[in-house]
Amino acid sequence: MQLLVNPTLEKCKKNLARPVHKTKAINKIVKPILRKVKKNGDKALKKFAQEYDHVHLDSLLVSAQEINAAKESVSKELKAAISTAKSNIERFHAAQASPELVEEVMPGVVCRRKSMPIQRVGLYIPGGTAPLFSTVLMLGIPAQLAGCREIVLCTPPNREGKIHPAILFTADLIGITKIVKVGGAQAIAALTFGTETVPQVDKIFGPGNQYVTAAKQLVTKYGVAIDMPAGPSEVLVYADESAEPSFVAADLLSQAEHGVDSQVVLVTPSEKFAKKVLKEINEQLEALPRRDIAYKALSNSTAVVMEEQESAIALINQYAPEHLIIAVENEEEVVDAILNAGSVFIGNYTPESAGDYASGTNHTLPTYGYARNYSGVSLDSFVKKITYQKISPEGLKTLGPIVEVMAENELLHAHKNAVTIRLNQLKGKKK
């Protein structure tokens, strides 16, 4: 992990650049996968399962027997933890529901706005180096709360053709019944085009590797929506001498272990504190089972000493981290100045891990700087807003002439006539 002392913002931008993927090379692999799944459906999915997951599948769907067996194999301790996390996530996401908006903007002109669920959604759950059963909660709960009519979960099988039992337990707990043994870009293709087994959906959610990410971005041209562009996981910690170095080191490592292309950043006003954190990182790293992954991620990562708070905040907003931990003495002042972040964790006793699992907020967040213009997944991600308007005869008499003037000046005379013909009829009634 490199150490920069009082660098310029321009130097920081260069040194904090995210790892770049070779998009053309990745798309060259992904595009044929999309074409083959579109053309051959389940046959292509089973072939890719053999090629990429090294497993022969007779059926792509998880059976009720498999779900029941999985439920039996999950420990009581994990079941209790998942159930508590479910409760917190449900409570926070249910509170996000907005009532129907009704406003009479002028006499006789009533406008409304109402949330309607996206009817068919696909949830992609990674199952590679870390089976993310927590992501089932983060995506499945708001989908259920929103009232989505059909929820399809795709996740890759292991070499025995099985799905991690915690993923199946969690899916069953929140009522997801259609679970498909398919991963990678081929899963995104199946959700986009539909196959004999996999229903076509309207919107696709979920994190994934670079091939999944590329596939999600490519399929948007076929009329399916996605939650957000995504990249490797990342965290930025802004901490001063009031923070505990061991806590900061643990938070940085918790993101570094996600993958070799993850990125972690420390920003601090104190070089002495930065060195304490780096020492802690080296000590804690040795005890991690995924230390090789974390070590490689740390090679893409930076500790920045920035003495001026104003410059530090400017750096944070420029970087726009997926996760932002603020552990400084004047935390509220700093929090109020943050413009770009996926999710913010405040204080010494708020580890980013809490948001990843069970605090109640969603862990599906914009990465790669997209926090400048995207929100994380929420209840709103699973609904669309429809607007309505109703105009009374008296309301049209007031509003109509305004519309006529505007339409005429845009040279859209049919638009004007749609109003004029009604106003003339109302005048005729008056006679």
71-115 tens-digit pLDDT: 999 999 999 999 999 999 999 999 999 999 999 999 999 999 999
323 a known binding residue?
Answer: yes
Tell me the pLDDT band of 144, cut-offs 50, 70 and 90.
Answer: very high
The pLDDT value given to residue 299: 87
CA–CA distance, 368 with 207 (Å, rounded to integer)? 13
356 a known binding residue?
Answer: yes
CA–CA distance, 32 with 342 (Å, rounded to integer)? 33
Q: Is the pLDDT of residue 431 over 60?
A: no
The residues that bridge with 266 in the sheet, in sequence order, are: 237, 303
Tell me the pLDDT band of 22, cut-offs 50, 70 and 90.
Answer: confident
pTM of the model: 0.93
Q: Residues 157-186: what's their mean pLDDT?
A: 95
Task: Judge contact between 206 and 156, C-beta under 8 A.
Answer: no
Task: Judge contact between 196 and 92, C-beta under 8 A.
Answer: no
Report the greatest alpha carbon distance in the chain. Answer: 91
Q: Residues 6-17: what's their mean pLDDT?
A: 85
Q: Domain locations in the chain? A: 2-17+232-360, 23-230, 392-430
pLDDT digits (tens, 9 = 90+) for 400-427: 999 999 999 999 999 999 999 999 999 9
Q: Residues 304-318: what's their mean pLDDT?
A: 95
Q: What is the CA radius of gyration of the chain?
A: 26
pLDDT digits (tens, 9 = 90+) for 252-302: 999 998 888 889 999 999 999 999 999 999 999 998 998 899 888 888 889
Fold classified for 2-17+232-360: Rossmann fold (3.40.50)
Q: Is the pLDDT of residue 232 over 60?
A: yes
258 a known binding residue?
Answer: yes
424 a known binding residue?
Answer: no
Are 2-17+232-360 and 23-230 in the same CATH fold? yes
Nearest alpha-carbon partner for 30 in 198, 290, 216, 193: 216
Catalytic residues: 322-323
pLDDT digits (tens, 9 = 90+) for 394-407: 999 999 999 999 99
CATH class of 23-230: alpha beta
DSSP 168-192: HHHHHHTT--EEEE--HHHHHHHHH
Residues in the chain: 431
The pLDDT value given to residue 429: 61
218 vs 11: which has the higher pLDDT:
218
Strand residue runs (E) in 76-233:
101-106, 109-117, 120-124, 150-155, 178-181, 203-205, 225-226
53 a known binding residue?
Answer: no
| Residue 206 CB partners (closer than 8 Å, separation 6+) | 122, 123, 124, 125, 126, 135, 139, 212, 227, 364
